[in-house]
Structure 1
């Protein structure tokens, strides 16, 4: 059995939104069996076949045509702290953490969350002094010294504008923290939506 992918372009009016689409499959001068497995509409000019192509929805933030560099915020945490960070992008962006514990900690002793504790992510690993802990929200992966570790909760994001983030470690223990993110803006499709 042979499957063939067909793709086509539907041009829409620049100033109007599409409220409904109807697809009719017409076969002419054919013999045999014909199966339709999937019909997918996708915004943009790059066909992925999986998910919405975010090149059309989001793009890296630019100032005077130049991509803004990745933003970094550094700090030292003792027991816990609320960090306020600024995001000059148009939309939220994944917030990544690079943490170096300065004390030994048990599983569950370290967590990050949004302002009032929402979107909390607790790290379920034992940490030794000077381990390198990476929480990569963009890839949805947390590691300790390069090896993946178990987490419980949600990865963080930096809201457009100002956002507050809780960083907690075991009481009377400390860690060095670097938060980073790439500011994002709406792409062509995102601006149309």
Structure 2
């Protein structure tokens, strides 16, 4: 198969030059070939863009960040609201954006495989642990690090999605049910079991320069 040579050309539009219109011409001469122009992308900021917008200026870390964490004790099933905002007198209240949510869960009783589920509001982005937990075990389910661990050891015995938390607050459902009583056509009959300590940690982000321009 013949190799195809691709070239990328970059140009910078500087706002201080007060650009009002932009005209691009492609001049091809003295060649016998098939020429394809795939796409033209324009984006504010100092970074090169490509097939998708570069996100380096979209977000920024909160200066002097203190990670927010919240504790709960859950028995059976519970719905928990987790804040993702600064105090109302702080400037970043309108600049906060969606971040990752990390869980640390320690059950007080043994939980069989498939008993522990974590859901976003309306049971979306469900996480299900397909491994048993003993009383006192520590499950670490981290969106910010893309890790799932039991007692510090990575595990792949799970299915579902990492969790995010929107600006303001997020609402989450924690379920501990007996899988033997589960009915997919009547989920309300599943028997709640067990209790657990739950630590929520919020991975906070603010709008960057590019985010402010959107």
Range of TM-score over shorter length: 0.7 to 0.9
CA distance in 2, matches of 1:139, 1:23: 43
How far does the alpha carbon of each residue in 1:33-56 deviate from its partner, in whole angstroms, 9 at most, with x for none? 797796573743234767543331
Structure 2 CA distance, aligned partners of 1:59 and 1:14? 27
Aligned to 1:70: 67
Change (3 A) 1:78 1:7: same
Q: Identify unmatched segments of 5+ residues in structure 2.
A: 86-92, 178-191
- Offset of residue 24 of structure 1: 4.5
- Between structure 1 and structure 2, the one with the greater Rg is 2
**Matched residues in 2 for 1:96 and 1:15: separation?**
45
Once superposed, what is the RMSD of the aligned Cα atoms? 3.5
Name the CA distance, whole Å, in 2 between partners of 1:179 and 1:154: 16
* SS of structure 2 residue aligned to 1:56: coil
Matched residues in 1 for 2:17 and 2:165: separation?
Answer: 32
Q: Which has the higher helix share?
A: 2
> Is residue 93–residue 181 contact of structure 1 (8 Å, CA) maintained in 2?
yes
Distance in 1, matches of 2:82 and 2:139, equals 20
Alignment match, 1:41: 41
Whether 2:115 is the aligned partner of 1:109: answer yes
| Whole-Å separation in 2 of the counterparts to 1:6 and 1:76 | 57
Contact 1:114 1:166 in 2 (8 A): yes
Residue pair 1:42, 1:53 contacting (<8 A) in 2 also: no
Pick from 126, 130, 148 the counterpart of residue 132 of structure 2. Answer: 126
Residue 113 of structure 1, CA deviation: 1.4
Asked if structure 2 preserves the Cα contact closer than 8 Å seen for 1:71 and 1:180, the reply is yes
**For 1:104-133, what per-residue CA distance to the aligned partner results, in whole angstroms no more than 9, with x for missing partners?**
222221111123323322222222233321
Call closer, same or farther: CA 1:134–1:106 in 2, change over 3 Å.
same
How does the TM-score come out when normalised to structure 1? Answer: 0.73
For these two proteins, the number of residue pairs brought into alignment is: 186
Question: What secondary structure sits across from 2:73 in the alignment?
Answer: strand
**Aligned in 2, Cα 1:68/1:33: closer, same or farther, shift over 3 Å?**
same
List alignment gaps of at least 5 residues for structure 1: none
**TM-score with structure 2 length normalisation?**
0.67
Q: Describe the SS at the equivalent of 2:122.
A: coil
Could you say which residue in structure 1 is the equivalent of 2:198? Answer: 177
**Distance across 2 between alignment mates of 1:15 and 1:114:** 46
Confirm or deny that 1:153 pairs with 2:179.
no
Q: How does 1:58-97 map to 2 (within 5 A)?
A: 58-61=59-62, 66-88=63-85, 90-97=96-103
Partner of 1:10: 13
